[in-house]
A and B are shown apart, each in its own frame.
Chain A
Amino acid sequence: AQSVTQLDSHVSVSEGTPVLLRCNYSSSYSPSLFWYVQHPNKGLQLLLKYTSAATLVKGINGFEAEFKKSETSFHLTKPSAHMSDAAEYFCVVNPTNAGKSTFGDGTTLTVKP
């Protein structure tokens, strides 16, 4: 069985300050992990993915995430928030045994001017 927990339902930052969105997972196998972003009334777009290569993964729009197996975490970070980063963010785990994806409940990021 696998699960994903996004530790914060809402995160608020000021423009230009760092962003940290937290994600913990559990999986019986070595998983593939993903972060997606969803702007209001839009579909989900892939930000980045971890697939057992480098543990520090760089994505689009300046986002990156670090896979920490010992902590079962895959936190998403960005050094400097931009107003356009305001959106919903989802952490997703895919098992290696070809099962269904598991989505976290999402984190709403608000960026204040």
Chain B
Amino acid sequence: DGGITQSPKYLFRKEGQNVTLSCEQNLNHDAMYWYRQDPGQGLRLIYYSQIVNDFQKGDIAEGYSVSREKKESFPLTVTSAQKNPTAFYLCASSIQMAVSNTEAFFGQGTRLTVV
């Protein structure tokens, strides 16, 4: 089955610790995205990548980092510089960002909690 897989589903982080969220897609999509969702709020864009080995900051990139070494993988690292990381994180992909009439496909999300 084609789709996007996020892991883990739940993640706990200690203060001052870096953690990495995994996102893998087998849809052969060029574009991939990371969003953050807080309770009662919409989705906010953290980073996006239009093609392998390239990525850009979204609206709330501070305290996060990404890499795009392979087309199918777009991991997100939440660094210790992110002061309020507790949230629900969603990864998505689309055929190409330049093709505006195509939809995004979403993973099932990772819930990160700081303990």
Contact = CB atoms under 8 A, between A and B. Distances in A.
Interface in B74-100: 88, 90, 92, 97-100
A86 B4 CA distance: 24
Contacts of A12: none
Q: Say whether chain A's binding surface is mostly helix, strand, loop, or mixed.
A: loop
Interface size class of A (residues with CB under 8 A): 20 to 34
Given A32-B100, A100-B58, A43 B107 contact: yes
Q: Say whether chain B's binding surface is mostly helix, strand, loop, or mixed.
A: loop
A101 B102 CA distance: 11
A11 interface: no
Interface in A57-95: 90, 94-95
Interface in A7-48: 9, 31-32, 34, 36, 41-46
B68 interface: no
A104 B42 contact: yes
B114 interface: no
- Going nearest first, the 7 A-B pairs with the smallest beta carbon separation are A43-B106, A51-B101, A98-B98, A94-B100, A105-B42, A44-B106, A32-B101
